[in-house]
Amino acid sequence: MFVSPRLNQILRILLAKTQPVSVDALAQATGVSRRTVFRELDRVDQVLHRTGLSLDTVPGEGMRLSGPESGRAALSALLGGASTMNPQNKSDRRTLLLLLLADADGLQKLYYFAQTLGVSEATVSTDLDGLEAYCGQFGLQLQRRQSQGALLAGPERELRRLVVDVICRIPDVRSFSANYGYPSLRVMDEIQTALQGEWAPKLDWMTEESLSMLTLQLTVMAERVRRHHTLAPEDDLPAVSGLPRQLAGQLSDSLESLLSVSLPEPERAEVGLFIRACRAKHLNPLDINDAAVYGQMQNMACRMIDAFDPRLSPCLKLNEDLIEGLSLHLWSAVVRLKQGIELKSAMHDQLVRDFPEVFAKSRQAARVIEQEYGVRVPDSEIAFIASHFGAALMHYGERSSHRLVLKTGIVCVAGIGVSYMMASQVRRRFRGQLEVIVSDCNNPDEWTGFDLLISTIPLRDAPCPVILVGPVLGQEDYAAIRAAMEARSAQEPEELPPLSGPLPQLLERTASYFLDMSAMLRSFTRQTIRADCTFGELARLAGYRYGSEQTGGTVAADLLRREAVSTQVIERLRIVLLHARTEGVQRPVIGLIAPEGERFTNEHFLGARGCFLMLAPASGDRGLLEIFGSISGALIEDEVLLTAVQNGDEAVAYTRVEAAILQHLKDYWNEKLSG
């Protein structure tokens, strides 16, 4: 369970005393009321049962901890050292609040959260508002009931995903666990010991990162099961077979024995999903650097374009960015789909609502993947495919690629009362499909550019179709308007108007981002250099290894010029962040350069242990620089990535950079869509 900062403080006081301590003394020492002390102690048995201690009440004197010395030592270890989280910091406080919500068995009053975190109820309320969108990403709802409190509601499986995601954002999980008791340090250590001990031969294919993630997922699962929060049998879990299923059964048996818990079938299936996800990281059957594989993906991309729209396919196949973007996307998508891994798409709802035809045609294109590999392509994956086609159609100017809104005039004799009544009826009936503008029969110049005219009187020389109706529209009138809309939509415009508005621009930018991100990840490799090299030698190696024979000198010169302006050696992080905008590359490049030894020995490098390289084309736009900014930020905030760069660990660094890039794209979409 989660040990709040205040309960941690109370237990420390009791642990330091052998004699009873009164409630008044505890309240004074912690700066809270007697009522708050009792509220905190309501949950103390859930903490003490792991240590063999009990909280005894001595009439007239107070309370004390009773039990063996080993129990006191265990509690001391559980409570850990000084707090690593500061509730006065908004980010830390919201992390703690999320875990308190996830740990609660029902509604908790805001007063409880405020007292636990040492802030006002108004601050808690503001934090809850700020966390709603984050919880929504996991299909969870932050329900708030007046005078009753707040509750994190939703499927158990999604709640666990949220808890794991929150914990993964904590820089030092072990210190956090030691201080707050969540996730259980003992359970985590026992699982880790088993995975690295008796289970090591069966999991030797697993990366260190995958092993750490599996440990955390199993720890959270065990904690939830112990408190009788189990996955429901009816949960729609993907089927797991083969090695992951076999290992899941054996590992579940071991966990039941090790942790004294019972894991029903849905929990065992969940273990299988964990293992399968780790397996997917290890068994990547497609190497995009293999010309044959890339050719296979390009061929499939062309077949998908044919399936998307046979009439437009000859024109769309001239779009090299569409071919390359789809090919690179398919490379990773096929691996995910084969392993049953589904990525949520932030753009899904917007695409379905505003680009229904593109989404429907993308579903047709996705059938090529299903037929080729015998897998199901979910709607979330179709949303990614639709974004590529939407961006391509934007360039082509295909009118059918966006929601067609017809400009419609409502005409009567005066253009006053009856016209507005009719306009109201039409707007309600064809909401979002017609742009309705009221006019009158004496101003035909206003009708220029209209797609349709709906009128109570005959109109001469109208520039577009006219539907004659009565002032009160009936079913026959609506049917006539619908028929005219469909006929107008089916006409091929003389000039295909370009898509406009925020979402088409967003699609185009996303396609550009995807190509840049794919190029970066494809370029990502590890190079080595002498530990005593000079900065000039490092720049030249970067230029010729990551540029080309023809452009390597240009890249090196640009890196040297950048160093002359301000050093790229970050002494605090013990790395070199080698970066420049240069004419020497056409696509963005990232990579690792490691010294042949523990660190660079030339004094210029100030003891740096590794080098991370970022090269942007001189013509690269601001969006690309923002991606590089996100990667740079990850080097500071992500300790795992920083350690991987320092150690020259290509596999771990690649995974963490990939996560930073995907997070950037997700944040970009959320920002634009919410704006």
* Strand ranges (E), 499-574: 526-529, 569-570
CB neighbourhood size of 375 (10 A): 17
115 contact partners, CB below 8 Å, separation of at least 6:
6, 32, 36, 39
pLDDT on residue 315:
64
Question: In the predicted model, is pLDDT for residue 85 greater than 80?
Answer: no
Planar angle of CA 289, 290, 295, nearest 5 degrees: 105
Closest CA to 423 of 413, 408, 433: 408
Closest CA to 552 of 527, 516, 522, 515: 527
Residue type, 265: E
The Cβ-side half-sphere exposure at 157, using a 13 Å CA radius, reads 16
Burial class (CB in 10 A: 0-12, 13-18, 19+), 649: buried
b/e for 339-364, b at 16 or more Cβ within 10 A?
bbeeeebbbbebbbebbebbbebbbe
| 549-564 pLDDT tens trace | 788 889 999 899 888 8
**Could you tell me which residue, 513 or 135, shows the higher pLDDT?**
135
- 593 confidence band (pLDDT: 50, 70, 90): very high
CB 63 within 8 A of CB 19: no
Average pLDDT of 526-551?
90
DSSP string spanning 4-17?
-HHHHHHHHHHHH-
**Could you tell me which residue, 119 or 288, shows the higher pLDDT?**
119
* Lookup: tokens for 211: 């092993």
Its sign, for the CA torsion 11, 12, 16, 21, is negative
Could you check whether the bond before residue 201 is cis, i.e. omega within 30 degrees of 0? no
CB neighbourhood size of 228 (10 A): 7
pLDDT on residue 320:
65
Closest CA to 569 of 582, 578, 560, 581: 578
CB 447 within 8 A of CB 463: yes
DSSP string spanning 598-638?
SS--SGGGTT--EEEEEEEETT--HHHHHHHHHHHHHHHH-
CB 218 within 8 A of CB 212: no
pLDDT, mean over the chain: 78
- Report phi then psi at 61, rounded to 5: -120, -40
Query: Mapping DSSP to helix (H, G, I), strand (E, B) and coil, where does residue 439 land?
Result: strand
Pairing verdict, β 610-617 and 575-582: parallel
Average pLDDT of 493-520?
58
Cα distance between residue 81 and residue 464, in whole Å: 78
Tokens 């046979």, located at residue: 310
Total-model pTM:
0.40
Average pLDDT of 171-200?
80
| 67-78 pLDDT tens trace | 888 888 878 777
Question: In the predicted model, is pLDDT for residue 321 greater than 80?
Answer: no
pLDDT on residue 237:
53
Cα distance between residue 147 and residue 99, in whole Å: 22
Residues in the chain: 675
**Could you tell me which residue, 492 or 566, shows the higher pLDDT?**
566
Tokens 């082509």, located at residue: 396
Average pLDDT of 205-223?
82
pLDDT on residue 51:
80
DSSP string spanning 58-104?
ETTTEEEEES-HHHHHHHHHHH-SS-S--TTSHHHHHHHHHHHHHH-
DSSP H or E stretch at residue 589: strand 589-595
**Could you tell me which residue, 440 or 504, shows the higher pLDDT?**
440
Residue type, 445: D
Pairing verdict, β 149-153 and 141-145: antiparallel
Cα distance between residue 67 and residue 571, in whole Å: 50
- 626 confidence band (pLDDT: 50, 70, 90): confident
pLDDT on residue 213:
82
**CA 27 to the chain's CA centroid:** 42
CB 215 within 8 A of CB 79: no
Average pLDDT of 90-105?
86
b/e for 405-426, b at 16 or more Cβ within 10 A?
ebebbbbbeebeebbeebbebb
Q: Tabulate helix, strand, coil % of the chain (nearest 5).
A: 60, 10, 30
Question: In the predicted model, is pLDDT for residue 668 greater than 80?
Answer: no
**Could you tell me which residue, 284 or 217, shows the higher pLDDT?**
217
pLDDT on residue 294:
66
- DSSP lists the bridge partners of residue 674 as none
Question: In the predicted model, is pLDDT for residue 460 greater than 50?
Answer: yes
Question: In the predicted model, is pLDDT for residue 287 greater than 60?
Answer: no
pLDDT on residue 241:
64
pLDDT on residue 368:
92
Cα distance between residue 271 and residue 648, in whole Å: 31
Tokens 């090529």, located at residue: 368
**Could you tell me which residue, 261 or 319, shows the higher pLDDT?**
261
- Based on its alpha-carbon atoms, the radius of gyration of the chain, rounded to whole angstroms, reads 31
Among 59-68, 268-277, 442-451, which range has the highest average pLDDT?
59-68
Question: In the predicted model, is pLDDT for residue 492 greater than 90?
Answer: no
Average pLDDT of 360-373?
91
pLDDT on residue 351:
74
| 419-446 pLDDT tens trace | 666 776 787 677 667 778 877 677 777 7
- 497 confidence band (pLDDT: 50, 70, 90): very low
Question: In the predicted model, is pLDDT for residue 607 greater than 80?
Answer: yes
Question: In the predicted model, is pLDDT for residue 528 greater than 70?
Answer: yes
Burial class (CB in 10 A: 0-12, 13-18, 19+), 388: buried
